Structures are given as C-alpha cells and as structure tokens.
C-alpha cells in the first residue's frame, strides 16, 4: 500500500463527511464501493491506457477512509500496489477540490448576549454545550465563564479595528494642579503587583488598580529556581518565603510532538528538560504576598476597579476609573502610569495601532483537583510541550501539563496563531475542544474529574526587527508584561519575561523617576527587549497556519520534531538555555544549520507559511541580532564596569545621557540572554534621591 494523500477537513462532524463521500460525491473516473469508514474506488483501465490488461488481472483500486481526532476529520487515500494507476492523479485532485468546497474553514463568532435576560450558562449552552456543562461544575464557574466571554469580546474588538483603536489616552494642557497623589499608578494586578511591590520597596508611593478581586488568577505560573532567584536577589522574597509558595517541584519535563505521520528522519525522541518550568507556584499566594509587601511599603490597592481613561499633562497623569460593584467613578493622579493590563489593554492598542500584536496564543485549561485514575500520570513529571495529533481545523494544538499541590494537575491547551481580523482566535471554541478531547490526551472519565478553577487568556507576541520598532511608552506612561508584548517564541508569556528582566526594568524606571525623565523618548528605552529572542519569532511563525491555508496536516509537527530532535541530541544545558531565552549567536546559527541539513525542505516550508514580506522582516531581525552580538562581544567585558565607575559624575551632570548609557549596558547583558544577578548592598532608593552608595544598584554579569 502507498499513501497518496492526507487531508485535514475542518469539521467535527465526521458522520457528515462520510455521508457526503459515500452518497453525494460523484466519482467520474471509477466505481465507488462503500466501506464502513469511507469508500474504495476501482479505476478500470481502458485499452487506450493499458492495452495489455487481461481479464484475469486484479482491478486497480484506491482505498479512501476517514477518522476523527481533536474534533477534526481527517482523510487518507492509499493505492493497493506499487505502480501508479492511470487516472489516480486526476481523481485525487478532484476529490481534494470537492472536499475543500464542501467543507471550508469556518470561524464562528460568539453570540451577542443580554445577561439581563438570562445567565451566561443559558446564553452559551446552544453554542458551547461542553464548555457550559463543565464550567457549571466549577466553583465560581458562572463568574469565570463571564470573564472568558468578556476577554474574547475585548480581544475581538481590538483585532477588528486595529487602525482605529479606541482612544483612552489623552493629552491635556498644563495647569496649576496639586502635586500628584502617587509616584506610580499601576493598572493590572497580576504581573503589575510584582513590579509595583519592588518599586514600593524602593520608596515610591504606589497605587495598584485591578479589575478583578485582588489575588484572583486565570492562569497558574511555573518557573525554574534559577529564574526565580532574581526575585530573591531583589529582596522581594526571602528564600523561606519562596519555599512557602512552591506548590510542586517536578523531577523532569517532557517535550514530544506527534510524529505518526512523519517520515522516519522527521521523528524525534522525547526532549527532557528537568529544569524548565519545573517549579509550580501557588500563584494566588504569590500575589497576596506581593500585595502585603506593597501595602507594608505604603502602597494602596484598589481592586474591582476598571480603567476608563488617562489624561496626561506636563505635570502629571490623571487616571479615571470606575469601581465596578458600586458603579461609582474614581480618579487618581500620579507622576507615572504603568500599563500591565496584558492583551486586554486598550492602551497597547492605541500606542501601536495596526501592529499592537502580530501573533497570539489563545490558551485555555483548568486546575483539576483530582479524578484521574492511578497510573494515568506521575505527578513527579510534567509535559512542557506535547501534541497528540496533527493540524486541527487550521491550528496545531499543543498541550501543557504541570503537577500542582497534592493530586492537582494544571492542564493547558493552546495554539500559536497569526492575528487576523476574520479569525482572531477564540477562547470559547478552544474550551469546547478542551473539554471534548481531554480524554484523548490523558485517559480520564470526565464525570469523575473534580474541577478547581479554569485557566485561560490571550498571550500575545510581536515580531520585532529592532529594539525600537514597538512603542512601549508615551509621556508619563509605560507598558510592561504582555501589554508590552515582547515575546519569547516558546514560553511565550509575560511572566517569564518580566521575571528575567525585572531588575533591568526597575533599575531603569527608578533612574527615570529620580531624574524626572518621564517623556516618551526616555521611557521608550525601558523595555524587556532581548535581541537574541527577537530573531526567533520566525520559529513561532512556523507554528501558525495562515488563515484560510490548507497545509499538509503533519507539517507543523514535522517542523517541531526537526528542532526538538536537534535539541534532544544536544547537551542538556543547550535546550535549557534555548527555552529560557539565554542562547547566543553561535548556538543559534549552529542549530539553524543543523536543522537545514536534517530537513532541507524546512526553508521552503517557512517561506510558504511566512511569506516574502515576513521573511525579509526576519532578515532585518537577524542582521540586528548579529550586529548586537558583535557589539556585545566587543564591549561586554569592560563597558558595563566602566560606566558604573563613571556613574556618580555622569548621573549628576547628564541624567538623560546616563539613562541611555544604562539602557545600553542592559542591552549588552540581559538583552543578549545573559541575565544579571543583583548585589543587595544599599538596595533601597527613595524617590528623588541620588545614589549615595558606590555599591548602589550594582549588578554583575552571570
């Protein structure tokens, strides 16, 4: 038997495909024979095709069958025999064309609902029955499903109108006003509270505004010990406090992609990453501890309060808010506004217009308290990245599984997605997939699972060409975390990026505040940009199916197996550095060349998926990375220590120049994947004070 075609049909209704194939499809080039899962087509040769055919010779035949996995229908056709059958090419082309016409891509939109007339469960049950069913089993399920619906609607609104985003930041004329009440106002209490707590400990008067009840999380966070160490070095946590928020630390993490339809040279062994995301944090406890530290340092938290608009004057920023339970309007004034609202941020959309985000990971999942049978999963291990099937309805679905406290398991389902106004990416569709295909991924009885809470969100990415091609600041306003959208192509989340760059961000922001360098030009230098990961956005681009395109279903798994197979052949620290954004220029080029040798079609595949425009943009990213690597190699050994020795004089006389030098210092170290460790001497800095201690703020290259 020889496989002739393999097609993904973007519909969960496999029975409808089978009925159409057996009863409605007209096969002009042969005789159809019905089978349980499809048809057989006998291609009877004519004398003009094969004059030597005898009456006793077997009739050439093609077997076509379908099956379902991941709420998707797949079709394969096999030839019985080694030699090509005359007419088989025309038959298969006609079949593929008719299938595409009969079962096109469909991108459903959530219904417009009126919750004054019905509950969210009643409104969504006809459209997402499994999602409603299992959210009803969760504590606070109605509240959380409302949140899923709200987030999807907010995301869709931004994607539909990228060129004319809603204006929420306004410039005002300077007037005689009282001194700002706060030094810094943060909008967004997840990543925001971590940054806010550090700045409050430095002596700034901080206000944190959070739309949800403070401490609630729709995601769980995993990290490694060496990455979390930066928060300990900063003084935000003690080692004992860190141990108290560890929910689980696993022994090993697995990375494996489905390769059942890949040729042997594109199959890959399991990649083991024992020190990647191996520490599961009690995220809500972490947030509560940060909140306590923020309050102890004199900060305030206004939760269940929504951002409405910001009016910026030369003297201050005036933030208009609404307290959601009472619908009362509030106002706060500060020197600086920090946007930590993530993908829901209207500020990020306004600052960047049509290129606020280039890509996104719609991510859904849940924390499951118990219910898996013994032997299904060993909680000493995690799935970092895993797929159990090929492209599904235009998406390559990927799972993550992380053990939590006790018997808890946190499971995510996501896909890499190119932002498209017709196909923004749907959380509700993903949840319907999640609750339907979870037993395909890990054997379970869905009725026996005990659900603790859902986990969901849109995790954004921006394809950077250089450090300045995304706007992260305005006068007296700066974005951090997912709102700044400086992606890591694999981990792809603002938490890891924030933690890795937290000392860099707080040190630069502290410098700007102390010297009142709060204009857009100065604040735009404060970003978590890393030149080494900007070049890898093409990797995540190769994990996205362009909207409306029909790729070979096994294509993305083949690409992933190419890269991860290479990493599996390397020493353990190579994969560790790659996934933690610490790889250097030589490692990147060496692995890229090995990938091209192992799979020569890779470049052609990426060309097909990315297109000429994005390939040229990537060339710019690569040249920028190469140039920055050369500069870093020449300067990193002496430049940072030199400017630190000159710091007191330069900072006192040329503060703006010092901020630029400091940003360049971090670009040579942290910005090249070489994170810095903080020296703790004399760490706290009060607002408005100059550095008095020569060891103040020092860091050394790790």
178-212: per-residue pLDDT in tens?
A: 778 999 999 998 889 999 999 999 999 999 999 98
Q: What is the pLDDT of residues 504-543, one digit of tens each?
A: 999 999 999 999 999 999 999 998 888 888 788 777 888 8
Please give the C-alpha separations between residue 332 and each of 186, 302, 308, 335, 337, in angstroms, as whole numbers.
Answer: 11, 11, 12, 10, 10
Q: Identify the band that residue 55 occupies on the pLDDT scale cut at 50, 70 and 90.
A: low
Question: Contact, 253 vs 384, CB < 8 A?
Answer: yes
Q: Are 541 and 463 in contact (CB under 8 A)?
A: yes
176 pLDDT above the threshold of 60: no
| Confidence band for 174, pLDDT divided at 50, 70 and 90 | low
Residue 661, pLDDT score:
93
Give the confidence band of 679 by pLDDT, cuts at 50, 70, 90. Answer: low
Per-residue pLDDT averaged across 471-486, rounded?
83
Predicted confidence (pLDDT) at residue 486 exceeds the cutoff of 70: no
Q: Domain map of the chain by residue range?
A: 2-102, 120-163+361-457
With contact defined as beta carbons under 8 Å apart, do 469 and 644 qualify? no
pLDDT at 250: 95
Give the pLDDT confidence score for residue 127 in this predicted structure. 97
User: 183 by DSSP, 3-state: which?
Assistant: strand
What is the model's pLDDT at position 45? Answer: 61
pLDDT at residue 73 is higher than 90: yes
Give the other-Cβ count within 10 Å of 181's Cβ.
Answer: 15
Per residue in 394-408, is it b (16+ CB within 10 Å) or e — as a string?
bbbbbbbbbbbeeeb
> What mean pLDDT value characterizes the chain?
88
pLDDT value of residue 694? 31
pTM assigned to the model: 0.90
Whether the per-residue pLDDT at 238 is higher than 60: the answer is yes
Query: Which pLDDT does position 56 carry in this prediction?
Result: 54
- Is the model's pLDDT at 489 over the cut of 50? no
The structure tokens listed for 552 are: 């070979």
Contact 10, 105 (CB under 8 A): yes
Chosen CATH of 2-102 out of 3.40.50, 3.40.630, 1.10.10, 3.30.310: 3.30.310
pLDDT tens, residue by residue, 604-615: 898 888 888 888
pLDDT at 601 over 80: yes
For residue 51, the model assigns a pLDDT of: 44
């Amino acid at each position: 038997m020889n496989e002739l075609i393999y097609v993904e049909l973007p519909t969960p209704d496999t029975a409808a495909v089978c009925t159409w194939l057996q009863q409605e499809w007209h096969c002009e080039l042969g005789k159809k024979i019905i089978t349980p899962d499809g048809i057989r087509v006998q291609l009877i040769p004519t004398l003009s095709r094969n004059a030597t055919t005898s009456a006793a010779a077997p009739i050439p035949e093609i077997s076509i069958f379908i099956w379902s996995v991941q709420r998707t229908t797949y079709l394969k056709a096999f030839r019985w025999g080694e030699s090509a059958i005359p007419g088989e090419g025309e038959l298969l082309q006609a079949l593929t064309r008719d299938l595409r016409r009969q079962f096109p891509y469909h991108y459903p939109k959530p219904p417009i609902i009126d919750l004054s007339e019905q509950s969210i469960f009643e409104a969504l049950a006809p459209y997402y029955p499994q999602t409603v069913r299992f959210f009803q089993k969760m504590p606070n399920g109605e509240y959380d499903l409302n949140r899923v619906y709200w987030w999807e609607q907010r995301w869709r609104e931004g994607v539909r109108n990228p060129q004319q985003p809603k204006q929420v930041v306004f410039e005002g004329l300077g007037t005689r006003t009282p001194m700002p009440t706060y030094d810094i106002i943060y909008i967004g209490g997840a990543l925001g509270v971590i940054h806010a707590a550090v700045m409050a400990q430095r002596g700034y008067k901080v206000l944190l505004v959070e739309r949800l009840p403070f401490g609630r999380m729709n995601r769980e966070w995993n990290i490694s010990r060496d990455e979390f160490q930066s928060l300990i070095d900063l003084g935000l946590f003690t080692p004992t406090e860190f141990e108290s928020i560890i929910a689980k630390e696993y022994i090993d993490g697995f990375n494996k992609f489905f390769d059942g339809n890949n040729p042997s040279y594109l199959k890959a062994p399991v990649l083991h990453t024992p020190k990647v995301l191996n520490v599961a944090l009690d995220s809500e406890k972490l947030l509560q501890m940060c909140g306590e530290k923020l309050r102890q340092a004199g900060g305030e938290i206004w939760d269940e309060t929504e951002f409405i608009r910001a009016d910026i004057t030369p003297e201050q920023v005036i933030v208009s808010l609404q307290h959601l339970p009472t619908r009362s309007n509030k106002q706060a004034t500060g020197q600086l506004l920090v946007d930590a609202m993530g993908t829901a941020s209207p500020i990020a959309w306004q600052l960047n217009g049509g290129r606020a985000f280039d890509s996104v990971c719609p991510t859904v999942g849940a924390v499951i308290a118990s219910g898996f049978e013994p032997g299904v999963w060993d909680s000493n291990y995690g799935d970092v990245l895993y797929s159990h099937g090929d492209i599904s309805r235009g998406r390559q679905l990927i799972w993550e599984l992380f053990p939590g406290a006790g018997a808890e398991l946190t499971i995510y389902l996501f896909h890499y997605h190119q932002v498209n106004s017709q196909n923004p990416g749907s959380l509700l569709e993903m949840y319907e997939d999640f609750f339907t295909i979870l037993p395909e991924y890990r054997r379970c009885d869905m009725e026996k699972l005990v659900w603790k809470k859902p986990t969901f969100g849109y995790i954004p990415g921006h394809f950077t060409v250089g450090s300045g091609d995304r706007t992260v600041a305005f006068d007296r306003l700066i974005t951090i975390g997912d709102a700044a959208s400086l992606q890591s192509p694999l981990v792809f989340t603002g938490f890891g990026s924030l933690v890795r760059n937290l000392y860099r961000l707080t040190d630069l922001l502290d410098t700007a505040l102390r010297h009142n360098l709060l204009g857009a030009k100065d604040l735009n230098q404060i970003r978590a940009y890393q030149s080494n990961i900007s070049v890898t956005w093409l990797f995540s681009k190769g994990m996205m199916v362009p909207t409306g395109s029909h790729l070979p279903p096994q294509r993305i798994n083949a690409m992933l197996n190419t890269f991860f197979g290479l990493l599996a052949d390397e020493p353990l620290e190579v994969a560790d550095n790659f996934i933690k954004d610490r790889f250097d220029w030589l490692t990147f080029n060496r692995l890229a060349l090995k990938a091209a040798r192992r799979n020569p079609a890779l470049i052609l595949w990426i060309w097909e998926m990315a297109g000429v425009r994005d390939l040229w943009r990537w060339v710019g990213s690569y040249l920028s990375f190469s140039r920055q690597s050369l500069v870093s190699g020449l300067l990193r050994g002496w430049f940072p220590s030199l400017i630190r020795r000159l710091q007191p004089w330069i900072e006192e006389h040329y503060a703006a120049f010092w901020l630029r030098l400091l940003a360049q210092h971090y670009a040579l170290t942290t910005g090249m994947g070489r994170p810095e460790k903080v020296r703790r001497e004399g760490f706290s800095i009060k607002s408005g004070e100059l550095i008095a201690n020569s060891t103040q703020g020092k860091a050394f290259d790790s």
